[in-house]
Amino acid sequence: MQFRFGMCAAPCVIALFVASASTQSVRAQTPEQFYTGKQVRFIIRSQPGGGYDQYARLLGRHIGKHIPGKPTVVPINMPGGGGIIAANHVALVAPKDGSILTIVSQGMPVDQALGLNKTLKADARSFGWVGNISNSNQLLVTWQTSKTKTLADARQRETMIGSTGAGSISTQLPALYNHVLGTKFKIIYGYPDGGDVNIAMERGELEGRSTNTWASYKAVTPHYIANKLINPIVQIGMRKEIGLEHVPLLREQEMSADDRAVVEFMSKAVTVGRPIATTPGVPADRLAALRRAFDATLRDPEFKVDAEKARAEIDPMTGEELEAVINDIVATPPAVVERVKAALEPRKEDAKKANVESKGSGGGD
């Protein structure tokens, strides 16, 4: 045994030396050297066609020319679990070298802070946050044929609204409205994607949709707005959307001090609208290069023209600002966390599983 060990010792030492030297060589590369000739994969947490997909592809078409070395950016849809499958893949499986971009679910920091979804293994604090494209408010809307036209109506009658995953923000927010505002929303959850909720709403299977951003409605289904097919009932965010001054803002409603702490938590969380990240552990200079590329892309005249054509509302945060907001959400005090968890949990009488085949896309849109 000693003889065998001695025979392999030199090759093993050489192999370790080569591996170490190779690692040091990779780390010594400048961002431009690393990205030249590379392909950056852009992981999209939903099916094609929705708001997350549209914003990711919009950014992906332009950001490559602003990254040093001008890599090719390739979109890859990875739906499932309200965005959790994509988040876990990026955090735990994908290479940690800066060759990955992803658009993260708006509700991921909330999921982590509250510990509501045990399938979420990713740590939002470990991601390399690149920037936030849009922080448009989340709206609950009813279809034109619904008898629920106002928040007062929603307090008086049961209104069937559609959502995606049981633990997604699209189920949590209407549960919050029921707890805090005394509304009677009947949450029909389990639709594969926000687009499926739209179809069910159009068919008359549902009276409304529980969550979607105003920016996404304007970008993906602008005819809903132009033809007055949807009626916004309540919006959540830190301030009212321009053009929606008539729609009640959740944080401006009367409520108890305990409820207000919950509402402020969720209103702040909504500002994490369309967050872009790379994997944990990316070298600092590459993360900085991705952040500056994001900033430059949003100033790019060609990007702006493309965004306008797509009706994509741009209201950005820098990567540094986004990182601070997410860390703040995850670090919410335990007492507030417990109140929030109680408020976001649908009562049994308020929720029902939809009779649809779940593809697991979830999340919002």
Residue 43 sits in the same domain as residue 66: yes
Q: Within a domain: residue 363? A: no
Backbone angles phi, psi at 239, to 5 degrees: -150, 160
Q: Do residue 96 and residue 237 come from a single domain?
A: no
Q: Residue 21: is its pLDDT beyond 90? A: no
- CA–CA distance, 180 with 331 (Å, rounded to integer): 23
- Residues spanned by the domain of 311: 39-135+271-333
User: Is position 281 within any domain?
Assistant: yes
| Residue 338 CB contacts under 8 Å (≥ 6 apart), including other chains | none
Domain-located, residue 297: yes
Within a domain: residue 23? Answer: no
Same domain, 194 and 150: yes
Residues 241, 343 within the same domain:
yes
Q: Are residues 162 and 73 in the same domain?
A: no
In a domain, 29, yes or no: no
Residue 179 lies in a domain: yes
297-347 residue pLDDT tens: 999 999 999 999 988 889 899 999 999 999 999 999 999 999 998 998 888
Q: How many CB atoms lie within 10 A of CB 167?
A: 24
Q: Is the pLDDT of residue 178 over 60?
A: yes
Q: What is the pLDDT of residue 20?
A: 44
- Between 151 and 49, whose confidence is greater? 151
Of 50, 103, 58, the residue nearest 305 (C-alpha) = 58
User: For the purposes of burial, counting CB atoms within 10 Å of the CB of 229, is it exposed (0-12), middle (13-18) or buried (19 or more)?
Assistant: middle
Q: How far is CA 97 from the centre of its chain?
A: 22
Q: Do 144 and 56 have their domain in common?
A: no
Q: Which residue has the higher pLDDT, 13 or 196?
A: 196
* Residue in the structure block whose two tokens are 């005819």: 223
- Asked if 183 and 214 sit in the same domain, the reply is yes
Rg of the chain over Cα atoms, rounded to whole angstroms, equals 22
CATH number at residue 217: 3.40.190.10
Whether residues 56 and 122 share a domain: the answer is yes
Contact 68, 31 (CB under 8 A): yes
CATH number at residue 90: 3.40.190.150
Residue 361 has pLDDT above 70, yes or no: no
Domain contains 18:
no
Q: Is the same domain home to 313 and 287?
A: yes
Q: List the alpha helices (DSSP H) in the chain.
A: 2-28, 31-35, 51-63, 84-92, 108-114, 151-156, 169-181, 194-203, 214-220, 222-226, 257-270, 284-299, 301-309, 319-330, 334-344
Q: Which amino acid is at 83?
A: G
Least confidently predicted of 69-73, 224-228, 347-351: 347-351
Q: Are residues 188 and 258 in the same domain?
A: yes
Residues 214 and 260 in one domain: yes
Of the two residues 105 and 17, the one the predictor is more confident about is 105
* Bridge pairing between strands 39-44 and 100-103: parallel
Count of domains in the chain? Answer: 2
Say yes or no: 318 and 250 in one domain: no
Q: Indicate the residue type of 133.
A: I
Instruction: Determine, yes or no, domain membership for 359.
Output: no
Q: Which of 263, 148, 256, 169 is nearest to 211 (CA)?
A: 169
